[in-house]
Amino acid sequence: MKKVIALSTLSQLGLIIISLALGIPSLTLFHLLTHALFKALLFITAGRIILYASHNQDLRLIGLSSPSIPITSTSILIANIALFGAPFLAGFYSKDLILEEILLNQTNSLIFFIAFFATGLTAGYSLRIIIIILWTPKHSIPCSNLTDKDFPIITPMFLITLTAILGGRVLN
């Protein structure tokens, strides 16, 4: 699971490089910061889910019981939908501005298609992670009795989730 989250940064790095090539460094920094925010939240929640699934990282074998850890489930859901740019979350504002600049500039058609294709792939693997982790029934892996009462972990997770919801509009 951590590999999927780590390697998913490559498509975002492509958008960052494209925005640098378009000559908009402030937008590049904005997207870099919002992406770092989601990745931090995804890695925190992935760690919690891996701990919950008895240290198993195979996505095909993890089925999460959302009611048992609602804050973690909500956090990974919000982080993933913000990562692919769902409207009115922080990722929407940064990606939308980059894609808008690509459309408004007289750029090569190939760059246009690559950027929009990468954005579509991001939505695809984010939705796949959400479906596999949150809505697939539990498999044979014995899960620990983890709850969302571990406040040293839950507090930053909650704050980062709140920032993912409100941060894009504030930073924009």
DSSP notation for 50-62? HHHTTT---GGG-
Query: Structure pTM?
Result: 0.83
91: its two tokens: 């990722």
Given a contact cutoff of 8 angstroms between Cβ atoms, the answer to whether 126 and 118 are in contact is no
Q: What is the mean pLDDT of residues 76-91?
A: 88
**Integer Rg of the chain from CA:** 17
Reported as a single tens digit per residue, the pLDDT across 95-154 is: 888 988 888 887 778 888 888 888 888 888 888 888 887 777 766 555 666 677 778 888
Query: In the predicted model, is pLDDT for residue 66 greater than 70?
Result: no
pLDDT surpassing 70 at residue 64: no
In the chain, domain spans = 2-171
For 43, counting Cβ atoms within 10 Å of its Cβ (0-12 exposed, 13-18 middle, 19+ buried), the class is middle
Q: What does 39-52 look like in DSSP terms, one character per residue?
A: HHHHHHHHHHHHHH
